[in-house]
Amino acid sequence: MSAKNKILKKILKWKYKHISNQQFTNISSAVIGLLAGLGAVTLKNFTHFIQHLLEEDFIKEIHTAFYFIFPILGLFIVLLIVKYIIKKKVGHGIPSTLYAISKQKGMMPKHQMWASIFTAPLTVGFGGSVGLEGPTVATGAALGSNFARLFRLNQTTKTLLIGAAAAGAMSSIFKAPIAAIVFAVEIFSLELTLASMVPLLLASITAILTSYFFLGDDVLLHFDLKDKFLLIDVPFYILLGVFSATISVYFSKIYFLIADLFKKTKNVYKRLLVGGILLGILVYIVPPLFGEGYETINNILRGNVTPIINTNIFNFVADNILTVIVFLIGLILLKIVAASLTFGAGGIGGIFAPTLFTGSITGYVFATFINYTNLFTHKLLVVNYAMVGMAGLMAGVLLAPLTAIFLIAEITGGYELFVPLMIVASISFIITKRYIPHNIYAAQLAKRGELITHNKDKNVLMLMQIEDLIETNFKSILLEMNLGELLTNNVAKSSRNIYPVVDEENHFLGIVLLDDIRSMMFNRELYEKIKVADIMKSAPEVIFSEDKLEVVMQKFKQSNAWNLPVVNNSKYVGFISKSKLLTAYRNKLIEVTS
């Protein structure tokens, strides 16, 4: 046994003797919050370091096509790192975390702890039009998962620590500890109990303290409330909710469309070339699309659109309201295209920043247009609507209204606009949910039936593995056998009362039940006359590679059977019994809710 394993064994023995599971979970949460905070700080500082290097005067002088060259260069470096250094797939932050929870028993690959720290800053720092939030969450979640694996913690605790790490990452990057907890519960469908709340709180607290220690008290978004919420604004906020939902549906549809187009191209270099060139063209024509876009968001929140409008090749100026509105609408429409191209080309990043970017501009455009029409004597304060618009887009795109409300209120300090935030977020969520049932993070998992939700029954079935339930101690019989052969070779040697019928290549054909031959068993005159084909009956099959356990449960209910045959590529594998399935379900339910 190595020295490392000996030390770990001693620690584990001491833990079992002196610390309860709940105490160890709380301590672990605080440690993981610290690690997630350090990961967030590293990601942010590395990105800013790259951006600072690229903004040096001599680089700008050498590369006149600055915005065109660097996005594709950054994506190319990321591709090389993934292919030749990491040598494993670097999953997109939150979707890969959701998949680990639902199908990998909370186990995340070790390389996820550090892979995003290099690839995400290179993507964003060189101009990729995405954010750092997803990679930060993935880094924290991987740290939580591997920490839990190291100390031999069960799946329920492992999932909780992943959620705590995600909360810590969000708390650190946004300096929004309450919203971070809401995010972990809403996105990862964690059970909100006292036992889970304390670890989430501890992780969120240690992470934000880490962020304050290294980054100071500077906030990500700057917003000064100049006018309080008035009752007369309610109809306008309702309209903003509808407008936000419209943009959210567009956002999701375009994202899925571009993602599907890139999936059709298997060659990673071709994807890089096409996506990188198109992204370079976009950011060259419209520079505000370069990188995360928080500078643009802050300008919008200050009501200062001049720096945004003036940075373009068309020489637009901000003195014409219609020009401003048209240009900003263009930014809304193109930001998601730029973000999708970044992902499609192989970039590593998050969707939070593009969502906040489009949301702030959506609110600003809405209020500016209403004021421009002069249809109402009441004038809207555009910066308030810009701030609330971010919540509208986040509620629609991420389908996480509570996260949207608390996050925007915390990071902007706009608590006095809490009612407008609730109005816009709820309306945007309700309308978008009707057309986009699952958010960007969860869409692919939902298609495969692998998405963890707040439905406890579905979650328990999803966390179970079908291969663990298959029984193989059934005697197979061939279609050509007669009754005598069936009784001598199978019935006499089997403890089961059901027999799968297969052909020479083990393809499943049907079943024979002991009850169906009981009346013939002692009539020797029938042994040669009756063939298996005469007494075989069909049975609903469980498709091993396709059917989820929720579907299996439905098949049991519809067929009233106690055993269902399992086939893989039409070949017989074994049976699943209802009693074993229900017993496994009960045990998993106890484990999950303990």
Answer with the residue of higher pLDDT: 592 or 403.
Answer: 403
Position 3 scores a pLDDT of: 67
State mean pLDDT over 219-232: 78
The C-alpha R_g of the chain, in whole angstroms, comes to 29
* Third-level CATH fold of 3-215: Clc chloride channel (1.10.3080)
Q: Residue 510: which region, alpha, beta or left (left: phi > 0; alpha: psi -120 to 50)?
A: left
d(C-alpha 319, C-alpha 140), whole Å: 45
Q: Which long-range contacts does 338-341 make (Cβ < 8 Å, 24+ apart)? A: 338/129, 338/279, 338/282, 338/283, 338/289, 339/129, 339/130, 339/255, 340/254, 340/255, 340/258, 340/259, 341/129, 341/258, 341/275, 341/278, 341/279, 341/282
pLDDT at 112 over 60: yes
Specify the residue for token string 């919420």.
Answer: 229
- Quote the DSSP letter at residue 453: -
Is the separation of the CB atoms in 438 and 94 below 8 Å? no
**CA–CA gap between residue 244 and residue 395 (Å, rounded):** 9
Let me know: does 301 contact 222? Beta carbons within 8 Å.
yes
Domain boundaries, the chain: 3-215, 231-450, 459-593
What average pLDDT does the segment 302-320 reach?
A: 77
pTM to 2 decimal places: 0.79
Cα 301 to Cα 359: distance, rounded to the nearest angstrom: 11
pLDDT band at 516 (very low <50, low <70, confident <90, very high): confident
Q: How confident is the model at residue 62 (pLDDT cuts 50, 70, 90)?
A: very low
Q: In CATH terms, are 3-215 and 459-593 the same topology?
A: no
Residues in the chain: 594
The DSSP element (H or E) to which 501 belongs, if any, is strand 498-502
Note whether 507 and 530 are within 8 A (CB). no
pLDDT for residue 340: 92
Could you say which architecture CATH assigns to the domain 459-593? Answer: Roll (3.10)
Torsion of CA 582, 586, 589, 590, to 10 degrees: -170
pLDDT digits (tens, 9 = 90+) for 77-108: 999 998 888 888 876 667 777 777 776 777 88
Residue 400 has pLDDT above 60, yes or no: yes
Query: Structure tokens of 120?
Result: 């995400």
* Cβ contact 184:167 at 8 Å: yes
Of 9-18, 285-294, 452-461, 506-515, the one with minimum mean pLDDT is 452-461
The C-alpha angle with vertex 425 and arms to 423 and 427, in degrees rounded to 5, equals 65
- Which pLDDT belongs to residue 317? 67
Cβ-contact 357, 351 below 8 angstroms? no
The tally of CA atoms less than 13 A away on the side-chain side of residue 442 is: 21
Q: In the numeric block, which tokens belong to residue 152? A: 């031999």
Burial classification of residue 261, based on how many CB atoms lie within 10 Å of its CB (0-12 exposed, 13-18 middle, 19 or more buried): middle
| Residue 379: φ, ψ to 5° | -95, 135
Specify the CATH number of the domain 231-450. 1.10.3080.10
In this model, does residue 592 exceed pLDDT 70? Answer: no
Q: What residue spans of 286-351 are helical by DSSP H?
A: 294-301, 306-310, 321-344
Higher pLDDT, 590 or 593: 590
> Amino acid letter at 377?
T
Q: For 478, list phi and psi in degrees, rounded to 5.
A: -95, 150
pLDDT at res. 58: 47
d(CA 2, CA 426): 56
Q: Report the candidate in 224, 242, 244, 217 with the shortest Cα–Cα distance to residue 392.
A: 244
At residue 92, the pLDDT reads 67
Edge-to-edge strand list for the sheet holding 571-577: 542-543, 563-568, 571-577
- Whether the CB-CB separation of 295 and 370 falls below 8 Å is answered with no
Confidence of residue 287 (pLDDT cuts 50, 70, 90): confident
Q: Are 452 and 442 in contact (CB under 8 A)?
A: no
Percent of the chain with pLDDT over 70: 89
**d(C-alpha 461, C-alpha 584), whole Å:** 9
Least confident of 257-261, 324-328, 470-474, 586-590: 586-590
CA triple 375-363-312, angle to 5 deg: 105
In sequence order, what are the beta bridge partners of 531?
482
Asked whether 258 and 185 are in contact (CB, 8 A), the reply is no
Backbone angles phi, psi at 513, to 5 degrees: -100, 145
β-sheet bridge partners, residue 46: none
For residue 494, what pLDDT is reported?
Answer: 80
pLDDT tens digits, one per residue of 345-354: 988 888 889 9
| Beta-strand pair 498-502/508-513 | antiparallel
pLDDT at 458 over 70: no
CA–CA distance, 256 with 252 (Å, rounded to integer): 6
Q: Which two tokens stand for residue 437?
A: 């049932």
